[in-house]
Amino acid sequence: KWINFVIFCYIICSNERNGMSNYNGRVLTRGSSQVRSRFVKKNGQCNVVFTNMEEKRQRYLADIFTTCVDIRWRYLLFLFCASFIISWLFFGIIFYSVSLSHGDFEERQAKRMPCILHVQGFVGALLFSMETQTTIGYGWRCVTEECPLAVITVVVQSIVGCIIDSFMIGTIMAKMARPKKRNQTLLFSKNAVIALRDGKLCLMWRVGNLRKSHIVEAHVRAQLIRSYVTAEGEFVPLEQIDLNVGYDEGTDRLFLVSPLVIVHEIDEDSPLYAVSRIDLETDEFEIVVILEGMVEATAMTTQFRSSYLSREIFWGHRFEPVIYEDRNCYKVDYARFDKTYEVPSTPHFSAKELESSKSLIPCSVSTFCYENEVALSCGEEEEEEEDDIFDSSHLKPGHDGKGSDACLGGGGGGGGGLPRAPYCALSMKRATEAQH
């Protein structure tokens, strides 16, 4: 019965996990009133329910250890307590039956050696069972040589007690050591963006680690999931297509000490090659992103998942910078982690069309200046303090320290730090004049 209870709890646990997130897994698609189900929820839970499984209980029973590790803590603790209580009651009943059949509870047998000393009823037999299995050994109740069955029962209970201890403690330790909760300190940005990078359209999203402990051998991968109809007319509801995030170059392997932007270059091998801004607003697909690595403290592998629907991908946007240089370190502003800004110069046509019409892309440095201004605003106070330190002796002879050639580093980085805003303004002016 307790095994059936474990399987029942596992089924309940699996069903409850489908609704753990604030997202209910169902979203409205653009231009339609129909409801589309999300394959992977934002919290990483897969929105999949198994039905009509043959021999489900037997299959879960065949892997009882994994079943116990997967169930919720409340059910595991209940199982932990129930396994001990049931075993105590079971062997207590056996000891009571042995003593009862031997006549130890009859007054006329008071002078006869009982099977178990100082056991006057079921309560005494239950206490003796608990003392035997837990090896408490108060020294008051003990089995005698009068009843061989009682001796055999003590041996069997001792072995069963060791098995229960090993199984339950091992299960709890395995559950505690699971790196599942490590995912709570890993972040994917709420939205993905598509923008130009080095003259090519790229799909980008951001990933971050909130802990100082590292994710060892961290690597990322992504898949596009959409419905597909083959040339023969077969309907594939969930076709999975890999998105190249730098497998060949090794850029999929991350040194995740600060937030990073993952880039998928939309080239001729990408499933997004023919997708334009209008197509993005009407298509129904989902991009599943996965971060894998080993937890530094336990060396156990963890996996963090999220997904982006087509309506959660912003065309012509970029992520705001979150890291800037301080005096002796780099600071990360997680308040800007999910923020994006629009790049008006981004073409609205697909990468396929862009490949044949590169001359349509305007040359602009405004986005470069915007990112610098955002980074500089984070370290404005530090810059003001450093400006007081510099005087005329630090400037070269004949140089007044003004204009585009006098851009100092931001936030204590010296000349190699972030450029100042005047440089951006002057660059924008020169770029505008060049275009005219």
Q: Could you give the CA distance from residue 131 to residue 31 in angstroms, rounded to a whole number?
A: 70
Helix axes 2-17, 73-102, angle to 10 degrees: 170
User: What is the pLDDT at residue 109?
Assistant: 59
CATH number at residue 57: 1.10.287.70
Q: What single string gives the DSSP state of each residue in 397-427?
A: TT--S-SGGGPPPSTT-GGGSPPPHHHHHHH
> Do 248 and 123 have their domain in common?
no
Give the pair of three-digit tokens for residue 122. Answer: 């079921």
User: What is the pLDDT at residue 370?
Assistant: 56
Q: What single string gives the DSSP state of each residue in 155-179?
A: HHHHHHHHHHHHHHHHHHHHHHH-G
User: What is the pLDDT at residue 377?
Assistant: 57
> Do 247 and 204 have their domain in common?
yes
User: What is the pLDDT at residue 49?
Assistant: 87
User: What is the pLDDT at residue 272?
Assistant: 94
Q: Could you give the CA distance from residue 130 to residue 92 in angstroms, rounded to a whole number?
A: 8
pLDDT tens, 65-115? 888 888 899 999 999 999 999 999 999 999 999 999 888 888 765 577 888
pLDDT category of residue 266 using cuts at 50, 70 and 90: very high
> Do 76 and 189 have their domain in common?
no
Of 179, 209, 233, the residue at which a domain comes to its end is 179
- 11/304: higher pLDDT: 304
DSSP label at residue 31? T
> Do 151 and 25 have their domain in common?
yes
User: What is the pLDDT at residue 75?
Assistant: 92
pLDDT at 262 over 80: yes
- What's the pTM value of the predicted model, to 2 decimals? 0.67
| Residue 390, domain member (yes or no) | no
Count CB neighbours of 49 within 10 A.
8
> Do 219 and 305 have their domain in common?
yes
Mean pLDDT of 207-232: 92
Of 179, 203, 226, the residue at which a domain comes to its end is 179
> Do 52 and 191 have their domain in common?
no
User: What is the pLDDT at residue 95?
Assistant: 94
| Residue 259, domain member (yes or no) | yes
pLDDT category of residue 13 using cuts at 50, 70 and 90: very low
Q: What single string gives the DSSP state of each residue in 322-349?
A: -EEE-SSSEEE-GGGTT-EEE-TTS-SS
> Do 75 and 168 have their domain in common?
yes
Average pLDDT, the chain: 78
Task: Report yes or no: 183 and 302 within 8 Å, Cβ to Cβ.
Answer: yes
Q: Could you give the CA distance from residue 374 to residue 418 in angstroms, rounded to a whole number?
A: 11
User: What is the pLDDT at residue 305?
Assistant: 94
Give the pair of three-digit tokens for residue 310. Answer: 């087509």
CATH number at residue 192: 2.60.40.1400
Torsion angle of alpha carbons 315, 320, 323, 326, nearest 10°?
160
> Do 153 and 201 have their domain in common?
no
Give the pair of three-digit tokens for residue 232. Answer: 């023969």
> Do 261 and 152 have their domain in common?
no
Mean pLDDT of 215-234: 92
Q: Could you give the CA distance from residue 410 to residue 327 in angstroms, rounded to a whole number?
A: 9
Give the structural domain span for 158: 2-179
pLDDT tens, 186-199? 999 999 999 999 98
User: What is the pLDDT at residue 110?
Assistant: 59
Q: Could you give the CA distance from residue 252 to residue 242 in angstroms, rounded to a whole number?
A: 13
Q: What percent of the chain has pLDDT over 90?
A: 43
| Residue 401, domain member (yes or no) | no
Task: Report yes or no: 205 and 271 within 8 Å, Cβ to Cβ.
Answer: no
| DSSP SS3 for 350 | coil
Question: Count of domains in the chain?
Answer: 2
pLDDT at 365 over 90: no
Of 148, 163, 179, the residue at which a domain comes to its end is 179
Q: Could you give the CA distance from residue 408 to residue 12 in angstroms, rounded to a whole number?
A: 61
pLDDT tens, 298-307? 888 899 999 9
pLDDT tens, 311-336? 999 999 999 999 988 888 899 999 99
pLDDT at 202 over 80: yes
pLDDT at 221 over 80: yes
| DSSP SS3 for 147 | coil
User: What is the pLDDT at residue 25?
Assistant: 45
pLDDT at 18 over 60: no
Q: Could you give the CA distance from residue 200 to residue 351 in angstroms, rounded to a whole number?
A: 7
pLDDT category of residue 373 using cuts at 50, 70 and 90: low
| Residue 289, domain member (yes or no) | yes
pLDDT category of residue 248 using cuts at 50, 70 and 90: confident
Q: Could you give the CA distance from residue 286 to residue 240 in angstroms, rounded to a whole number?
A: 10
> Do 239 and 309 have their domain in common?
yes
- Least trusted range by pLDDT, from 44-58, 206-220, 243-257, 354-368: 354-368
User: What is the pLDDT at residue 432?
Assistant: 41
pLDDT at 224 over 60: yes
| Residue 82, domain member (yes or no) | yes
Q: What percent of the chain has pLDDT over 70?
A: 73
Residue 190: phi and psi, rounded to 5, are -65, -30
> Do 210 and 262 have their domain in common?
yes
Question: Looking at 189-271, which runs of residues are DSSP E strands?
Answer: 192-197, 200-209, 215-229, 235-243, 253-254, 260-265
User: What is the pLDDT at residue 22?
Assistant: 39
Q: Could you give the CA distance from residue 22 to residue 16 in angstroms, rounded to a whole number?
A: 13
> Do 162 and 256 have their domain in common?
no
User: What is the pLDDT at residue 124?
Assistant: 92
User: What is the pLDDT at residue 270?
Assistant: 93
* CA-based end-to-end distance of the chain: 83
Closest CA to 244 of 266, 219, 259, 277: 266
Question: Looking at 110-214, which runs of residues are DSSP E strands?
Answer: 116-117, 142-143, 186-188, 192-197, 200-209
Q: Could you give the CA distance from residue 46 to residue 49 in angstroms, rounded to a whole number?
A: 9
DSSP label at residue 247? T
